[in-house]
Structure 1
C-alpha cells in the first residue's frame, strides 16, 4: 500500500483499486503469482477471493473494500468522479464478514498461510467512533484502535429491511486491533482524505480443528 500510494492516490472503483494493487504486488514481488477473483470451494459454498497471491504453493488471500463519499478530483490530468456509497452500517458488516471469510479459507487448508483485509475510503464515519450510542450497528464498529473479536450482532431495534440478507451475527475466531493508516489527501473537506484499514489474519494465531491437507 505504501508503494501504491506513491503512484496512485485515488481510484475510479473497487475494481480499479483491486487491479492496481495486484499489479503493484506483482511488480514488487516478481517471483509470486497474483490472481484476481480466485474461486475456492469449501463444502457446497464457493468463495471468490479478490486477490490471491501464490508463492511456492503457499496461498495468501486478500479481500478489498473501496467505499467512497461523493468526490470529484483531477489527479495527474485524470478526472475521477466518485459515487456516494452510503449505507455505512452495511459496509462495516461486510468488512467484518470478509475477515470471517479469510479465517474460513485459512482454516480449510494449510496451503493458506496468511490473509489480509483492506478497506480504502474517504468516509471518516468508518474510522471515527460513532457519536451516537446504541446505534443498530454498534457491534460492527471498525473505528480506529477498536479491538474486535468473538460474536457481533445487530441491535435488537434494527429493522428487518436494514439487515436484509445480513441477518446472521459475525463470529470471529481471532482478535484484531483495528489500525487505520493515511493514504492520500486532496483538501480539508470531510471527503478530502483517504485512509485505509489493514487487518492481518495469521493462520498460526487462529484456534481451530486440524486442517484438511488432501
Structure 2
C-alpha cells in the first residue's frame, strides 16, 4: 500500500503520467480473507474484494517491534477494490498457485 501512496503523489496533477503497482505471489494468505478481523495488521490486508482508501495504520495493540521502521500511517487518496488474478500454477501442492494484483494510477 505504501507503493500506491507513492504513485498517487507522483501522478497527482500531472498529465500523461501513469503509474502501475504489481504484486505477484504464491502465498494464498494475501488473497484469502482472514478468519480474524482484529489483527494488528488488519488495515494493511490485501485480500480479494477488499476496498482500500483513507488512512492505514497499525492497531493500537501492535508491538513496537512489529511497527519498527514502519510506524508512519499510509494515506490512500483514491478508492481501490482489490481483485486478484490467476497467473500460473506450478504444482498443486501448498504454494503452487501464483496470483497477481495490480493497480493503475493515472
User: Normalising to structure 1: TM-score of the pair?
Assistant: 0.48
User: How far did 1:162 drift?
Assistant: 0.6
Name 2:64's counterpart in structure 1.
160
TM alignment of 1:72-151, pairs within 5 A: 96-107=1-12, 110-111=14-15, 113-151=17-55
Tell me, yes or no, if structure 1 residue 199 matches structure 2 residue 95: no
User: Which protein, 1 or 2, shows the higher relative CO under an 8 Å CA cutoff with sep ≥ 6?
Assistant: 2
What is the SS of the residue equivalent to 2:64?
coil
Name 1:173's counterpart in structure 2.
77
What is the SS of the residue equivalent to 1:161?
helix
User: How far did 1:188 drift?
Assistant: 1.6
Larger Rg computed on CA atoms = 1
Moved over 4 A (4+): none
Deviations, residues 102-150 of structure 1 (Å, cap 9, x unaligned): 011112x625522111000000011111112311000111001111001
**Number of aligned positions between the proteins:** 106
Q: How large is the Cα RMSD of the aligned pairs?
A: 1.3
Q: Which runs of 5+ in 2 are unaligned?
A: none
TM alignment of 1:20-59, pairs within 5 A: none
Q: Which is richer in strand? A: 1
Name 1:183's counterpart in structure 2.
87
Q: Distance in 1 between matches of 2:105 and 2:52?
A: 13
User: Normalising to structure 2: TM-score of the pair?
Assistant: 0.93
